[in-house]
Each structure stands twice: as structure tokens, then as C-alpha cells.
């Protein structure tokens, strides 16, 4: 299991009902089901991911996040999770609003585009940054709405979302004391626990 | 057996379940007794917890897999999914496939003798709804001492039966697989069924449905009904890929004698259908499709209809299916999500239209296989106490 999923997994309360947006191979839901007796659904639109979810017995709905979450009721999930997916959707603001509508709480994790390697990369090479946490070239990246921590927190303020906790990690998904000195400069991945 | 396909259940024999009591239908009418033809593949285990029910669609029957004789040219209609090491794996599962009441595969239907008159039922055969089929399949399950299905599976009209099973007998369906189906037909879909019915009933040989008495068959009408239906089961792209504008005869188009491949195909489909199908059954089955609407009893709230269901659901839809489009499966999925049921929905990309559910499409069969494998390993522990 990926380190990032393990970290999110620890935030899942027992027997909660969760919705995982861009659930990938269903690792998180499988963990939540097995270890926390949680129920819920994963949304994805990649056939291989969906097949792997079915093999694990994870409920998976083939659905494009860009088409919204209109099929889910207000407050119908204890937790809505979106790991490293917000940057890949066409309308991140709209999707954030939808997440906060259907979930009592949300966890959003983002790769930080303001991280120092990205900045240096752009500054010195004059090219779109390619870093360990953002490994794609500009022409084949699924990430069409990259942001920095400051950008994301600004959006949270605009949407009047409370940030309950923020966890910072380096490019190896490790917490690191230097990160807190200047999060937007050093952090590669950030985890936000949000509430309306 | 020297069949080229080694992964077949091989030679199979249909069996007959006879129910000698009066069977009340949703319409209020009663069948004084009935016979139901069915086949089974695989072995029921000691715990009797590995049984899967296959529900057939409009033109299907109980013969879902294997061959009836060494001379059979064609296997059962779902041979590509049922058999050893296939998605519905007969090494693991005990598969039951019945011919629906009102059918023409041997179960009591419009061609059977009416005990009151000793003549074929014909037009006197009562209206049968999906709910009636499920009720009769329940009696078959009791006969086979199956108290709970590991899964009920069906495509199209068969998917409706799988849903009805999960609604009517929530304790007895662990998993429901609903393929290329709908919670109710749209006006357009009903319209296509009416075209088919009209084709049959306007054939002079139909004789108000009592054609068997006069030893005639409304073959022309039934053929046309099947041709109309068949067009709607394929997609524009699929037909174009398969037939294009290919011409079969040597006559030139200018002379007006040219026949397109697609015309031949439709005629062949229509003609061969009349050899194996009964016109009254066709009408009855299309009516059952039209009337299916489980949400009708719950204020048109489909979620509410599923409220007591306990099955884990798998919905499968196909992108080019315009008779039972992806959106219809989404409606079912959304209702199940709203009712907080376990549900998965996959949307398979294909140009094969509604017929996809009968075809060996890789993604589809793999998903079915994965879901049933999970079903196999997650048999609830409390099963033995039921």
C-alpha cells in the first residue's frame, strides 16, 4: 500500500461511510473495509483500476469526476477523500464544493507546485518543472490544474472551508521538521482535513 | 465429447419441474399448474451455497450452455460465459437456468394445452410479469433445496429479473448482476416493442393469437418483429463495421436488384427465429418488459423499492447500447447508492450495441469473473443458519 494512502487510512474512523474520488486500484477503500469496517464507494474511470477494485471486492462506480457528484446526496458520507486528484480535474473549485456538499468532512491531498525543486527547475531551465512528485512532461501530464499550498488554502478561504489539520510531507512521503519552516517551499505533498 | 471447445459443460439434458398447485399471477389470473424446464451445470456443494441462477432475456431460454446432442451445431446462448474456468465457472458454481413461464422452450406457455379446453392456450394464456417469473423461479429453488442464491444474473429482461429477485427475496440473493438492463422502459423502448407486436398481430395468420388451432403460424409477422428488434440490438457503427455497404448478389444497383449484406442478414435472422420461437410468447415477453417498473409500488422512488435489498450489486452497461443505454444502468446504480447498498457499475466501451451482453467482450467477462470470484470467497458466515 502506498505511504500516502496509509496516512489517509489512519484518519478514517471505524464504520464510517466513505467516498473515494479517483479511487485508483481501491487500496484505500479495501484498507478501510478490512481494518475499519468502513463502507462506501470508489469513483474512477480507468478500466484497469476498476477491474482491480472488483478483484478486491471494493464497490466501484465508473464515473468521470468532471461530470460532478450530482448523483450523491447532501451529507451522505462521513468522509469524502480525494488523493492527488484535484489537480487533474477540469473544474477543481466546482468539485471542491461538491465534495463538501456530500461529505461531512473531506480529505484532499495535493502535490505542491510551489516546492523548491519546481521553482528552481522553472527558473534555471526555463521549462515546465519535472520533479519526483510531479514526474510528467507538460505534454502528457494528467495534471491540468496544479497549484501551490498557498493557492489551495486561498481557495479554502474563498469557499469558507475550515482546515482542521494540515499534514506536510517531503517527496518520499515522510514528515520532516524542515517542512514547517517554509511549507510552501519545502513540502512536496500536503494533506488537508477539511470541514465546512 | 469431441467438441473443439474443451471448456464446455459438454452434453446437457433439460429437466422439468412440475408444480401441481394453482399458481396465482400478479394479474389475478391463475395457472392451475405449470411445468418449468431448466438445466443445471456444475455441482451443488454440500452447504448448498454455490448456486447461481441465470435469467434469460426476451428470446432466450433455459439452454444457456453446453450441447443437447453430439450433432448440435450450436451450444447454449451463454456458452462463452458459463463453463469450466469461464466467468461463471462450473468448477466452482452450480448454475441453474430455467425457461420462463410463458416461454416456448418447454415451460408452460401459450403453446401448451389449456387444461380447461385441451386446446393450446394461445390468446388465453394470461399476462405474465417479471414478478411472476421470479415467484416461479423461487418455487424451483425450493424444489432444488437452494435456500439462497450466491448470485442471480441476467442481461436485459434477465437483468430485470435479477433486480426483482433482490427486491422480492432480499434474504435469498447474495449477489445480483444486472447487465444492459433498465429499471423501467422509456417510451421509445416501449414503442419499439409495440412495432414488433403490431407486426405480429397484423399478420393474417395470427388469427387473434389462436393460430395453432388453425394450424397456421404468423411467420411473416414474427419475422418482421425480429428484424425490427434486431436492428435495435445493434449499433450504427457496429452494423457499418460488420456489413458496410457490401452487396451479395451480382445484380447491379442500377437494375434495382442488388441486395445488401445487411438485408440478407436481417432476413436470415428473422427466418431462423420463426423456426424456434412462438409469436404469442414474443408478445408476452415484450409486455413483461413494458410493464416492469418496480418503483411503481413505492411512489416512483426506485431507491425505496431497493430499500430492503441485501444483495451486493454489479451493473454492467455498454457504450453503444441505445436500447438499454448506459444512463438506464446509471439510474439503477444511483438508486442503489441512495439506498446505501453495495453496488459497482462498469461501462464497457464497445460498438456491439445491446447484443454486447451476449458476446465475449474481454473487459465485460473479466469484470463478471472478478465479481463472482469475490462472491465465492465472501459467502456470509451466517448462511448455514438460514
Quick count: other Cβ atoms within 10 Å of Cβ B266? 21
* B146/B209 same-domain check: no
pLDDT tens digits along A129-172: 998 889 999 999 999 999 999 999 999 999 999 999 999 999 88
How many domains is chain B partitioned into structurally? 2
B156 is catalytic: yes
Q: Do A73 and B343 touch (CB under 8 A)?
A: no
Answer whether residue A168 is part of any domain: yes
How many domains is chain A partitioned into structurally? 1
The CATH number given to whatever domain includes residue B115 is: 3.40.50.1820
Q: Which residues of A touch B (CB under 8 A)?
A: 17, 39, 41, 47, 50-51, 53-63, 71-73, 76
B355 is catalytic: no
% of chain B exceeding 70 in pLDDT: 95
B267 is catalytic: no
* Chain B residues with beta carbon closer than 8 angstroms to that of A60: 344-346
Answer whether residue B5 is part of any domain: no
The CATH number given to whatever domain includes residue A40 is: 3.40.50.150
pLDDT tens digits along B1-20: 444 456 899 999 999 999 99
Q: Which of B59, B97, B354, B356 is catalytic?
A: B354
Answer whether residue B75 is part of any domain: yes
* Chain A residues with beta carbon closer than 8 angstroms to that of B337: 41, 61, 71-72
* B208/B300 same-domain check: no
pLDDT tens digits along A44-98: 999 999 999 999 999 999 999 999 999 999 999 999 999 999 999 999 999 999 9
Q: Do A62 and B374 touch (CB under 8 A)?
A: no
The whole-model pTM stands at: 0.94
Q: Which grid cell sits at B116?
A: 380447461
CA distance A92 to A24: 18
Q: Do A61 and B343 touch (CB under 8 A)?
A: yes
What is the residue-wise DSSP string for A137-164?
Answer: -TTT-S--S-B-HHHHHHHHHHTT-EEE
Q: Any chain A CB within 8 A of the CB of B157?
A: no
pLDDT tens digits along B97-130: 999 999 999 999 999 999 888 899 999 999 999 9
* Structural domain harbouring B381: 15-184+294-385
Answer whether residue B2 is part of any domain: no
CA distance B254 to B230: 28
- The burial class, CB within 10 Å (0-12 / 13-18 / 19+), for B36 is buried
Answer whether residue A126 is part of any domain: no
Q: Do A54 and B378 touch (CB under 8 A)?
A: no
Q: Do A54 and B334 touch (CB under 8 A)?
A: no
Answer whether residue A105 is part of any domain: yes
Question: What is the nearest CA distance from A89 to chain B, expressed in angstroms?
Answer: 20
Amino acid at each position: 500500500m502506498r505511504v500516502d494512502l496509509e496516512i489517509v487510512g489512519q484518519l478514517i474512523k471505524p464504520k464510517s461511510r466513505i467516498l473515494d474520488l479517483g479511487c485508483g486500484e481501491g487500496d484505500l477503500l479495501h484498507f478501510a473495509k478490512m481494518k475499519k469496517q468502513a463502507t462506501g464507494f470508489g469513483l474512477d474511470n480507468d478500466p484497469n483500476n476498476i477491474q482491480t477494485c472488483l478483484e478486491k471486492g471494493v464497490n466501484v462506480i465508473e464515473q468521470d469526476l468532471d461530470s460532478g457528484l450530482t448523483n450523491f446526496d447532501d451529507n451522505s458520507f462521513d468522509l469524502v477523500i480525494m488523493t492527488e486528484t484535484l489537480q487533474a480535474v477540469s473544474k477543481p473549485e466546482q468539485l471542491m464544493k461538491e465534495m463538501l456538499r456530500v461529505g461531512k468532512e473531506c480529505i484532499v491531498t495535493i502535490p505542491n507546485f510551489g516546492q523548491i525543486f519546481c521553482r528552481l527547475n522553472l527558473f534555471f531551465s526555463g521549462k515546465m518543472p519535472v520533479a519526483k512528485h510531479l514526474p510528467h512532461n507538460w505534454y502528457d501530464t494528467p495534471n491540468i490544474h496544479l497549484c501551490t499550498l498557498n493557492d489551495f488554502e486561498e481557495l479554502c478561504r474563498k469557499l469558507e472551508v475550515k482546515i482542521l489539520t494540515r499534514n506536510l510531507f517531503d517527496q518520499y512521503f515522510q514528515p520532516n521538521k524542515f517542512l514547517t519552516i517554509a511549507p510552501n517551499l519545502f513540502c512536496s505533498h500536503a494533506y488537508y482535513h477539511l470541514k465546512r | 465429447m469431441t467438441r473443439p471447445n474443451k471448456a464446455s459443460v459438454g452434453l446437457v439434458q433439460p429437466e422439468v419441474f412440475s408444480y401441481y398447485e394453482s399458481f396465482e399471477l400478479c394479474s389475478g389470473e391463475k395457472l392451475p399448474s405449470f411445468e418449468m424446464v431448466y438445466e443445471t451445470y456444475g455441482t451443488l456443494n454440500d452447504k448448498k451455497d454455490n448456486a447461481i441462477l441465470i435469467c434469460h432475456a426476451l428470446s432466450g431460454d433455459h439452454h444457456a450452455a453446453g450441447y443437447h446432442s453430439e450433432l448440435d451445431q450450436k451450444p447454449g446462448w451463454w456458452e462463452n460465459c458459463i463453463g469450466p474456468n469461464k466467468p461463471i465457472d462450473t468448477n466452482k458454481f452450480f448454475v441453474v437456468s430455467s425457461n420462463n413461464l410463458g416461454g416456448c422452450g418447454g415451460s408452460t406457455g401459450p403453446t401448451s394445452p389449456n387444461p380447461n379446453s385441451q386446446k393450446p392456450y394461445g390468446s388465453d394464456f394470461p399476462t405474465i410479469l417479471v414478478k411472476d417469473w421470479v415467484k416461479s423461479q423461487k418455487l424451483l429453488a425450493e424444489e432444488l433445496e437452494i435456500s439462497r442464491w450466491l448470485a442471480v444474473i441476467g442481461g436485459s429482461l434477465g437483468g430485470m429479473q435479477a433486480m426483482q429477485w433482490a427486491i422480492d427475496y432480499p434474504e435469498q440473493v447474495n449477489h445480483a448482476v444486472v447487465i444492459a438492463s433498465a429499471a423501467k422502459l422509456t417510451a421509445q423502448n416501449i414503442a419499439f416493442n409495440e412495432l414488433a407486436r403490431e407486426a405480429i398481430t397484423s399478420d393474417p395468420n395470427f388469427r387473434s393469437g389462436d393460430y395453432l388451432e388453425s394450424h397456421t403460424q404468423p411467420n411473416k409477422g414474427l419475422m418482421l418483429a425480429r428484424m425490427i428488434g434486431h436492428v435495435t440490438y445493434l449499433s450504427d457503427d457496429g452494423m457499418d463495421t460488420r456489413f458496410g455497404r457490401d452487396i451479395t448478389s451480382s445484380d447491379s444497383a442500377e437494375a434495382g436488384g442488388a441486395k445488401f449484406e445487411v438485408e440478407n442478414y436481417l432476413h436470415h435472422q428473422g427466418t431462423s427465429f420463426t423456426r424456434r420461437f412462438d409469436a404469442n410468447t414474443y408478445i408476452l415477453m415484450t409486455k413483461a418488459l413494458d410493464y416492469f417498473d418496480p418503483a411503481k409500488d413505492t411512489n416512483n422512488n426506485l431507491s425505496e423499492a431497493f430499500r430492503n435489498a441485501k444483495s451486493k450489486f454489479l451493473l454492467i452497461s455498454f457504450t453503444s447500447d441505445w436500447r438499454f443505454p448506459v444512463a438506464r444502468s446509471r439510474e439503477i446504480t444511483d438508486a442503489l447508492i441512495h439506498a446505501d447498498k453495495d453496488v459497482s457499475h462498469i461501462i464497457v466501451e464497445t460498438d456491439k450495441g445491446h447484443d454486447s451482453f451476449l458476446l465475449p467482450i474481454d473487459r465485460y467477462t473479466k469484470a463478471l469473473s472478478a465479481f463472482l470470484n469475490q462472491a465465492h470467497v465472501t459467502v456470509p458466515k451466517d448462511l448455514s443458519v438460514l
